[in-house]
Amino acid sequence: MESLQLSYELERLVDIIEERKRLVTVLKIEPSSNDNLSLKKQLNKVLDSLNEARLNAFEELEDYATNYNDILTDIPDNAVDTKLYQFQLPQKSETSTTITDGSSMTNGNAALRDATKKVRFRDDNLVSYKEDSNQSFVPYKDEPEGNDNTNTDDIEQERQKLFDSSIALEQTTSAISPQFSNQELFIQQQQQLLEQDSQLERLSGSIRTTHGISLSINDEVNEQNDQVLHDLESLFWTTVVGIWIELKGG
């Protein structure tokens, strides 16, 4: 299983680096932040596979590790610090620990496990998410029903107030008595304009709140999609390993 996993992840890494080399050397385009994030994710996947193979004492680990370190040197730019992603082969040494009753045990695997180092990176656009199996997600609708319609009702009410105020202003202007002076007329119109500005401000706040809710829903949908893709990838590898075992047994 280690051999299949490592071969697959290394091939994906080579494809990403080749595409990156075409961008930098041929098209003279600087890789975007998404390109850098994709490369770092793939490097971490390969490191995870190598570390798992090391803990399982995989016989071909040295060949795969050498191949991986050689691939690192092909990265055409300095956006990724390759020194942080190099894989160090474990030194072949045994450490033994004596227990109080006189028996001894070999801690080689424990030492390797303690010495295992993984490269982790942080990105402001990356959000960690752990799916709660008990959490239920309500599908997004353009026209939400029930309690979700609160913000829409608020917007409609503010809009209706604004229109009513405009109509009232027209009616008031047309019904003004001739004995009103220009100054009184100006003051009355200013008050109406200030009231409309206040209503527009509240309407704008409601729209911003609705926009924020939409962004939050979008983030939840993206996180669910990432989890589904992860589950599909795990299922794929489980199927591949099962077929490989059947073929080997046959």
Please state which of the ranges 9-13, 39-43, 87-91, 196-200 shows the lowest mean pLDDT.
87-91
pLDDT at 110: 45
Which residue shows structure tokens 């046959």? Answer: 250
Burial of 36 by CB count in 10 Å (0-12 exposed, 13-18 middle, 19+ buried)? middle
Do residues 5 and 245 touch, judged by C-beta distance below 8 A?
A: no
- Does the structure show a pLDDT above 70 at 173? no
**Distance of alpha carbon 40 from alpha carbon 125, whole angstroms:** 14
pTM here is 0.39
Percent of the chain surpassing pLDDT 70: 66
Q: In terms of Cα–Cα distance, which of 248, 244, 179 is closest to 7?
A: 244
Q: What is the pLDDT of residues 119-160, one digit of tens each?
A: 444 444 444 445 555 555 555 555 545 444 556 676 777 777
> Across residues 101-125, what is the average pLDDT?
45
pLDDT at 91: 72
**Distance of alpha carbon 3 from alpha carbon 49, whole angstroms:** 10
> Across residues 78-105, what is the average pLDDT?
64
Q: What is the pLDDT of residues 193-231, one digit of tens each?
A: 998 988 999 999 889 899 989 999 999 999 999 999 999
Please state which of the ranges 7-16, 100-109, 172-181, 219-228 shows the lowest mean pLDDT.
100-109
pLDDT at 92: 62
Which residue shows structure tokens 């090391």? Answer: 54
pLDDT at 102: 40
**Distance of alpha carbon 191 from alpha carbon 197, whole angstroms:** 10
Question: In the structure, what pLDDT confidence band is assigned to residue 55 with cuts at 50, 70 and 90?
Answer: confident
Per-domain residue ranges for the chain? 2-126, 144-250
Question: In the structure, what pLDDT confidence band is assigned to residue 182 with cuts at 50, 70 and 90?
Answer: confident
- Does the structure show a pLDDT above 90 at 94? no
